[in-house]
Structure 1
Amino acid sequence: MKHVFPGIGMTSARTRGRMVERLRQQGIRSEEVLAVMANTPRHIFIDEALSHRAYDDVSLPIGQGQTISQPYIVARMVELAIGSANRERVLEVGTGCGYQTVVLAQLFKTVYSVERIAQLLDKARMRLRDLRISNTRLRHGDGFIGVAEAAPFDAIIMAAAPTYVPEALLSQLAIGGRMVFPIGNVDQELRIIERTADAFIETKLEKVRFVPMLPGLA
């Protein structure tokens, strides 16, 4: 599902190649995810003053107290998400600048993405329109509530850390689906929950650092 991005002055192939090589060394195994990361113009999602750091392995501010996650974390979470049984629809909680949304759009048939901060959502919408991404459904909403009318989702990926697992999101996960999310307050860790026909199986992964997940709209 490789997407050809229109009229975007991409940074040098060498810069993106270095990022992909670093992701490989950090343990990202999916060649499909690596190809999408190499193809996606991360620099256009970041303020121009910081764009020279777009392909470094750091999280960067995007305004409104939010950040764009470091490339490794995006690749790691997306790699876990595509391990779900199907790839029809994914729910992203926390659109942010829209970068991860675009990565997911190249790997899933339809991406539903929820953002509580209207100003960030407006900017993300414009970027996706400029990139001619047409298989995303963005909405201004509360991530704790999800998008019940579009459920069930084959994967749910959360870009902010709650202190508990939202019940509404678990109920929107398809059988055979995976939820990939950070959790915790000060000490946070990455986890996945896989839904089987009769249970939710939770696996704890590595330590991470995300902005807190907040309820309501802003």
Structure 2
Amino acid sequence: MLSAFVSRIIHQSQRRFVDARGRLHARAGSPSQASLCGTAVFEKRNRRYRPAGDFAVSQHHKPGFVAIANVGANVSTSSHLTLSLKNDLAEITRASAAVDELGERHHAAPEALYAVNLALEEVLTNTISYGYDDGAAHEIIVHFSMQDGELTLTITDDARPFDPLQAPAPDVNAALEDRPIGGLGIHLAKTMMDGMHYRYESGKNILTMKKKIA
């Protein structure tokens, strides 16, 4: 059960989240244009989802796992999806679209899906806004995996090392200007997900988040 504080913050952030997604969709185009780099094609017979575009079959086949690669963009099946994002806040709408696609496909509980979307938005916003200082383009990889109703998200980036699990809980009584940047958002992400794990490996931040959504 969520604490009264977290529940209040969720309700307060709900309108901000919806408004932010609206602004991002406006910048990236219509939802259908922003969704997974193009028009969606869902093939029930093979149970695979693929964005429109040029495709190449993955060379890494596993039994029951059919991967179609949209070259330079995404790899997906009904239970797995990998997104390549730029370090641009407008890219968050694509990540949100991916969560919505998986949630619809697996009949996710709306409140659980909202929690995942909000946590992912906060993590990506923190990384994109504060993780880079060279002004260059960087790639952020988000991998989604569904198993037994649990959604696992793995976010990999080459931003400066940052372990969100070590971030102190925000002082909710402090004045807004006295709170550390991003502190409340990271606290929300940690609170709303069922589990989080962080490691720094080969120059990459690797954050894993889990949430039971169906």
Name the TM-score, length of structure 2 as normaliser.
0.29
- The structure whose Rg is larger is 2
TM-score for the superposition, normalised by structure 1: 0.28
Q: Greater share of helix residues, 1 or 2?
A: 2
